[in-house]
């Protein structure tokens, strides 16, 4: 199964991916996580991406397309879920070209959320720098405050989760990424999911839609 997950920053893409991966054995390919790993490792790619990410702008298409094409080649036969890629129509066209007709995307999950909900989610987010698990100081607390449930690592706040950068990320999303929803409505099956419910409710809706694909 090949799935694309769309949604504004803070819509809950990373949170829902963890559930989908556990249920269907797909590989989770998050462009944001791959970029952050490159930054932590001090690679050339990470250095090139840094200023764009910290400002809440998109990293240039050429860099991202090459990085994600390499990642997709390593996916298992069960398939993958793309989180944060594609993010421009250019990237989507490149993805379609690299998959070819036999490998087309099976479905797009479009997490819908109002901008007004996003800021509280982003400023309260805490992430595990080791395994990427995502928490929230109010909505999804770890068992021990400040520590990851999975590996005990100290949770961190992302540098691009400040209110000013979140505003720019939302603006970037509306201008450059939202047009992808229409692109995919013409080329694929799009499931619209209301993402302003609690995480378990969103998970139930996602599962229901994906079950129709499995059948
Ligand atoms: P990326 O890491 O992809 O960030 P994003 O798309 O902005 O999305 P987020 O990770 O912030 O949010 P999410 O939807 O995953 O929400 P989450 O589950 O964490 O990209 C970062 C940067 O990298 C970009 O700005 C860009 O510079 C660059 N980049 C990446 N991909 C690129 C590309 N393809 N092209 C160019 N540049 C690229 O949830 C958020 C919070 O809310 C958490 O605290 C969570 O616990 C909580 N939460 C989740 N669901 C719920 C719920 N249902 N109810 C209440 N709280 C919830």
Mean predicted lDDT score pLDDT of the chain: 93
pLDDT per position as a tens digit, 107-130: 999 999 999 999 889 999 999 988
Residue 213 has pLDDT above 90, yes or no: no
In this predicted structure, what is the pLDDT of residue 135?
Answer: 93
Q: 12 C-alpha to center of ligand 1: Å?
A: 7
Residue 208, phi then psi, degrees to nearest 5: -60, -45
Whether the predicted pLDDT of 143 surpasses 80: yes
Ligand 1 neighbourhood includes 202 CB (under 6 angstroms):
yes
Could you say which DSSP state residue 161 is in?
Answer: G
User: Of 4, 5, 7, 10, which is best to mutate to test ligand 1, by the most ligand atoms within 8 angstroms of its C-beta?
Assistant: 10
The band of 187, judged by pLDDT with boundaries at 50, 70 and 90, is confident
Residue 126: both structure tokens together:
């805490």
Contact of 123 with 166, CB cutoff 8 Å: yes
21 burial type by CB count under 10 A (0-12 exposed, 13-18 middle, 19+ buried) = middle
- pLDDT at position 130, please? 86
In the CATH hierarchy, which fold is given to the domain comprising 2-26+75-113+174-214? Answer: Rossmann fold (3.40.50)
Q: Which of 4, 15, 33, 171 to mutate to test the pocket of ligand 1 (most atoms within 8 A of CB)?
A: 15
Cβ 6 vs Cβ 108: under 8 Å: yes
Paired with 81 in beta bridges are 3, 28
The Cα–Cα gap between 203 and 201 comes to 5
3-class secondary-structure state, position 127: strand
Q: Which tops the pLDDT comparison, 213 or 102?
A: 213
DSSP secondary structure, 62-111, as one string: HHHHHHHHHHHHT--TT-EEEES---SHHHHHHHHHHHTTTT---EEEEE
- Tell me, using a 6 A CB cutoff, whether residue 38 lines ligand 1: no
Span 162-182, average pLDDT: 96
Contact, 157 vs 137, CB < 8 A?
A: no
Query: For ligand 1, what atom is nearest to the CA of residue 86?
Result: 34
Pick from 5, 9, 149 the residue to mutate for probing ligand 1's pocket: most ligand atoms within 8 Å of its CB: 9
Where along the chain do its domains lie? 2-26+75-113+174-214
pLDDT, position 188: 92
Residues in the chain, overall count: 215
Instruction: Give CA–CA dist 135/150, Å, rounded.
Output: 12
pLDDT confidence bin for 212, thresholds 50/70/90: confident
Distance (Å, whole) CA 175 – CA 201: 29
Separation between Cα atoms, residue 73 and residue 89, nearest integer Å: 21
How far CA 172 is from CA of 59, 134, 197, in Å, comes to 11, 22, 24
Rounded to two decimals, the pTM is 0.93
Quick check: helix, strand or coil at residue 25? coil
Cβ within 8 Å of residue 74, ≥6 positions away: 27
Q: Is the CB of 52 under 6 A from ligand 1?
A: yes
Residue 192 clears pLDDT 90, i.e. is over it: yes
Q: Which atom of ligand 1 is nearest to the CA of 87?
A: 34
The residue whose CA is least distant from atom 2 of ligand 1 is 32
Using a 6 Å cutoff on CB, does residue 46 contact ligand 1? no
Catalytic residues: 13, 87, 125, 158, 169
């Amino acid at each position: 199964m090949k799935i694309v997950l769309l949604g504004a920053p803070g819509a809950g893409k990373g949170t829902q991916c963890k559930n989908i991966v556990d249920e269907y054995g797909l590989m989770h390919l998050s462009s944001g996580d791959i970029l952050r790993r490159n930054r932590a490792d001090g690679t050339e790619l990470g250095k090139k991406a840094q200023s764009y990410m910290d400002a809440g702008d998109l990293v240039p298409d050429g860099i991202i397309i090459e990085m994600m094409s390499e990642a997709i080649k390593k996916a298992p036969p069960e398939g993958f879920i793309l989180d944060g890629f594609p993010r421009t129509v250019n990237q989507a066209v490149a993805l379609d070209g690299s998959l070819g007709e036999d490998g087309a995307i099976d479905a797009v999950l479009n997490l819908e959320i109002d901008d007004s909900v996003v800021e509280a989610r982003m400023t309260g987010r805490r992430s595990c720098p080791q395994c990427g698990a995502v928490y929230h100081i109010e909505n999804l607390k770890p068992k021990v405050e400040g520590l990851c449930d999975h590996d005990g690592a100290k949770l961190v706040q992302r540098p691009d989760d400040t209110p000013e950068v979140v505003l720019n990320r939302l603006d970037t999303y509306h201008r450059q990424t939202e047009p992808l929803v229409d692109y995919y409505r013409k080329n694929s099956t799009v499931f619209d999911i209301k993402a302003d419910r609690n995480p378990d409710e969103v998970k139930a809706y996602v599962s229901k839609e994906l079950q129709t694909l499995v059948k």
